[in-house]
Amino acid sequence: MTLMLEAKSIEKTYGSGDQRFYALRNIDVGVKKGEFVAIMGASGSGKSTLLNVLSGLDKPTKGEVWIAGHNLAAASDAELTKIRSENIGFIFQFFNLIPVLTAEENVSLPVLLSRKDQTKAKKKAKKLLDLVGIGHLAGTRPANMSGGQQQRVAIARALMTEPKIILADEPTGSLDSKTSKDILEILRYFCDNLNHSMIMVTHDANVASYAHRIVFMEDGQLVNELILKDRHLDRRQIIIEITNRIEGITA
């Protein structure tokens, strides 16, 4: 099956000689079309650094990151900007919406910045807002929306350019449990039914339980993996298994 993203032999170091610190070491990971992958680890395990490298926001010291035929590790800054805008969608913990723009305008922004047809962009934005369940808020600004509604806008925005891969950094970290469940079900729906590919960083076993596959990090390395797709476990059983894996790593 085609990989939407593939990282090969990734290392990220800081300093040199005796002072060299490995933030990432010997990372190999890929994401298939339609796959939802969660990256788990304690604070300082390297998961956020890995997400930054996979997104092209940071370059590895060694290794390659391939998206849509492009090696991000070898691309110039100008090339990276173009590759990211065309192939990667981002979902952040704190939404990162522009306060003075409406929901529809926030969603349209990635396409409008590329100077494409504004009328088509607005129609597509409205369809995406309908898809995430808040089409009725198209003309509303972020200050007048709940956290869950703002995150739905952010999800729609991430899908606007039809990216090859969506990268989500603690996407439910600032939401209550009920709203988090709603957001995670939307993300899983997009992977299962619309064939989107996603990598999500989280420290929360409940959040990770919505993924098809979980990779566990410790001290900058991938140390374990749990495949959940097609295992027909209920949510409680999945969370117990994730917790057991985490305890096995930290023991």
Residue 114: what pLDDT?
Answer: 66
State residue 234's pLDDT score.
Answer: 79
User: Would you call 85 helix, strand, or coil by DSSP?
Assistant: helix
So what's the pLDDT on residue 105? 93
| Domain coverage including residue 202 | 3-250
Per-residue pLDDT tens for 173-231? 888 889 899 999 999 999 999 899 999 999 899 999 999 999 999 999 999 999 987 76
Residues of the chain with pLDDT under 70: 1, 113-116, 231, 250-251
Instruction: Please tell me the predicted confidence (pLDDT) of residue 115.
Output: 64
How many domains is the chain built from?
1
Sequence-separated contacts (24+) of 238-244 with Cβ below 8 Å:
238/209, 239/205, 239/206, 239/209, 242/40, 242/205, 242/208, 242/209, 242/214, 243/205
* Alpha-carbon gap, residue 33 to 240, rounded angstroms: 27
Question: Quick one: pLDDT at residue 116?
Answer: 66
pLDDT for 250 equals 61
- Does the model's pTM come out above 0.75? yes
Q: Is-contact 200 36, C-beta < 8 A?
A: yes
- For residue 239, what pLDDT is reported? 86
The CATH number given to whatever domain includes residue 46 is 3.40.50.300
